[in-house]
Amino acid sequence: MQKIIKQFPVLSQYTYVNTATSGLLYDDLLDWRQEHDLDFLIGGSSMKMKGHLLLSETRNTIGEFFGCKADNVALVPNFSIGLNLLLEGMGSARNVLLLEGDYPSLNWPFESKDCHTFYIKVTEALEENIYDRIRLDNINVLALSLVQWLNGIKVDLEFLGKLKKEFPDLLIIADGTQFLGTETFNFEDSGIDVLGASSYKWLLGGYGNGFMLFADDVPAKFNCSSTGFNAADADMEGREKISFAKQLEPGHLDTFNFGSLNYSLGFLSGIGMAAISDQIRGLSLKAKSEFENLGLLEESVVKRKIHSSIFNIAGDKELYAKLMEQDVVCAQRGNGIRLSFHFYNTEREIDKIIGILKGS
């Protein structure tokens, strides 16, 4: 893992525990990007005309990486655009269950529609509360982030699968931006109907790329109207043959951005998602234990058996400034300081942070 860590120049200067804000650029991806733009520089449109091959490869790579049919993958610039395009076809006769304090780009699009929205607090009993509300309130859409951006609380994925089996008509829409890239995941086995993500965080894909994954029966539940020449694969006769996923791709897609995602998925596969998951899990367990011993975690996080590698610790502006002065790159979120650990972090870095916290 140390050899891989050297791919990230930022890590030689800072203790970077801020992947929940932005993943890092690494040497090999920079090389690929420079080669891509050099090809464009000397090839112009002839290079770009071949772009559909790279985009098709990216779609296939995403499908293989996350266990989803390539035809059910939509390439979108980011999760927010993908979700808004999708919800244009959802209709208004829906009872939607949301989580209080979930990421605004997930909650706001539902709140702007005419659907009926219900809310639950994110507590240690999250799954039990979701189940009760769905059973009692005639909920037909559950929309949530798989990992909460503020405090890192992670929904039990097995629970979602069981929930779908008990309530097969329930539409589960999930944001995987703070989850995908942290462990092995198979979409078709998850029970989730729609899963979207921006790729600039844990997937290390850089900005301007994301995707939406759809279960086979999702097209029958929406009536989307977005369209464009790209959706028809630039076929003048293809307007009436546009697939559901391609409706979310009405315009040109950037080979630089989506090629970056394609490259990074290969990079992560080369490391091995099992190794990445083990590393992140070990860091999460150590960080949670240390922060809990210092009394810095909210009760709902402490009481849960499973957690992500994102933590929001009690701390004010002064503590945040002190961490930054010690070259610990983190973020102020909510009422605390958010620290997030990826596979390129180490236990030694956690020890450094704990030392700073104890000296504050």
Q: 32-49, pLDDT tens digit by residue?
A: 999 999 999 999 988 888
**Which tokens sit at 266?**
């290969």
Contact 122, 148 (CB under 8 A): yes
If DSSP codes are grouped into helix, strand and coil, which group holds residue 214? strand
Phi/psi at 141 (nearest 5 deg)? -135, 125
Residue 254 Rama label (left phi>0; alpha psi -120 to 50; beta)? beta
pTM of the model: 0.96
* Predicted local confidence at residue 93, as pLDDT: 75
Rounded CA separation 14/328 (Å) = 6
Rounded CA separation 342/227 (Å) = 38
* Predicted local confidence at residue 264, as pLDDT: 98
* Predicted local confidence at residue 294, as pLDDT: 97
Q: Decide if pLDDT at 220 tops 90.
A: yes
Residue range(s) occupied by CATH 3.90.1150.10 in the chain:
2-27+272-358
Which residues on neighbouring strands pair with residue 99, listed in sequence order? 120
CATH number of 2-27+272-358: 3.90.1150.10
Looking at every residue in the chain, the average pLDDT score rounds to: 95
Which residue is listed with tokens 């539409």?
171
Q: Decide if pLDDT at 300 tops 80.
A: yes
Q: Decide if pLDDT at 360 tops 70.
A: no
Rounded CA separation 251/261 (Å) = 18
Nearest to 195 by CA among 140, 247, 157: 157
Q: Decide if pLDDT at 238 tops 80.
A: yes
For the beta sheet containing 141-145, the strands, ordered from the edge strand earlier in sequence to the opposite edge, are 73-76, 210-214, 194-198, 171-175, 141-145, 95-99, 116-120
* Predicted local confidence at residue 98, as pLDDT: 98
Using pLDDT thresholds of 50, 70 and 90, give the confidence band for residue 66.
Answer: very high
Mean of pLDDT values over 243-260: 95
Mean of pLDDT values over 128-139: 94
* Predicted local confidence at residue 45, as pLDDT: 87
Q: Decide if pLDDT at 1 tops 80.
A: no
If DSSP codes are grouped into helix, strand and coil, which group holds residue 325? helix
Mean of pLDDT values over 247-271: 96
* Predicted local confidence at residue 213, as pLDDT: 98
Rounded CA separation 122/113 (Å) = 23
Contact 99, 125 (CB under 8 A): no
Residue range(s) occupied by CATH 3.40.640.10 in the chain:
33-270
Fold assignment, 33-270: Aspartate Aminotransferase; domain 2 (3.40.640)
Contact 178, 20 (CB under 8 A): yes
The total of other beta-carbon atoms located within 10 Å of residue 31's CB is 11
Report CA-CA distances (Å) from 173 to 191, 197, 217, 293, 337.
10, 11, 13, 36, 28
Mean of pLDDT values over 271-287: 98
